[in-house]
């Protein structure tokens, strides 16, 4: 998504949050004019990109960030459990969006619902999880950021079809 060089774990994850927010804004702009030339094709492509970005983001959080938080901050287990449950909600919306295939009013509604769910999730991470992570002496956020970056790049490379 964004330029991750020299970003710690929280900065990298938040850069993802900002990048996907821009995609949601662009989708909403296009959905507001569904009859504009190429609107359906652009919305379909944008919805696919949103789904792809969020899928990779959730996977690196679940594989690397959340387990590290559980180890370093046992008292944050409830917050991590809640974040994981929010991922499940997002994954269901992503599956529903992907099942539609082409942009239409139903997809517009689902993308808007996904946007609201992600906004809530991001707020909780920023307000609750990230401050705890930053204050945890047992967490090296720079090392964790590198692990997240490497895994993210690997997942993105897997998703790109061979030329």
Averaged pLDDT for residues 133-161? 92
Structure-token match 């997240």, residue found: 148
- Domain boundaries of the chain, sorted by first residue: 9-157
Instruction: Report angle CA 103, 107, 111 to the nearest 5 degrees.
Output: 120
Q: Give the pLDDT score at 145.
A: 96
Options 3.10.20.30, 1.20.120.520, 3.40.50.300, 1.10.510.10; which CATH number does 9-157 get? 1.20.120.520
**How far is CA 67 from its chain centroid?**
17
Q: Taking residues 134-150, report their average pLDDT.
A: 95
User: Tens of pLDDT along 73-121?
Assistant: 999 999 999 999 999 999 999 999 999 999 999 999 999 999 999 999 9
Rounded Cα distance, 130 and 125, in Å: 6
Query: pLDDT tens-digit profile of 2-54?
Result: 444 568 999 999 999 999 999 999 999 999 998 889 999 999 999 999 999 99
At which residue do the structure tokens 């994850």 appear? Answer: 13
- Model confidence at 162, in pLDDT bands (50, 70, 90)? very low
Number of Cβ atoms within 10 Å of the Cβ of 144 = 21
With a CB cutoff of 8 Å and minimum separation 6, the contacts of 147 are: 64
Section 116-133 average pLDDT: 96
pLDDT at residue 1 above 50? Answer: no
Give the pLDDT confidence score for residue 161 in this predicted structure. Answer: 59
């Amino acid at each position: 998504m964004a330029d991750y060089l020299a970003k710690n774990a929280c900065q990298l994850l938040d850069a993802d949050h900002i990048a996907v927010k821009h995609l949601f804004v662009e989708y909403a702009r296009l959905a507001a004019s569904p009859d504009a030339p190429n609107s359906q094709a652009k919305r379909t492509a944008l919805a696919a990109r949103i789904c792809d970005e969020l899928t990779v983001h959730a996977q690196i959080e679940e594989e690397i960030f959340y387990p590290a938080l559980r180890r370093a901050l046992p008292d944050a287990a409830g917050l991590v459990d809640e974040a994981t449950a929010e991922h499940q909600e997002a994954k269901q919306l992503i599956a529903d969006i992907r099942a539609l295939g082409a942009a239409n009013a139903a997809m517009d509604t689902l993308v808007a619902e996904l946007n609201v769910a992600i906004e809530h999730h991001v707020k909780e991470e920023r307000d609750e999880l990230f401050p705890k992570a930053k204050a945890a002496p047992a967490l090296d956020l720079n090392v964790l950021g590198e692990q997240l970056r490497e895994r993210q790049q690997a997942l993105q490379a897997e998703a790109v079809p061979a030329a």
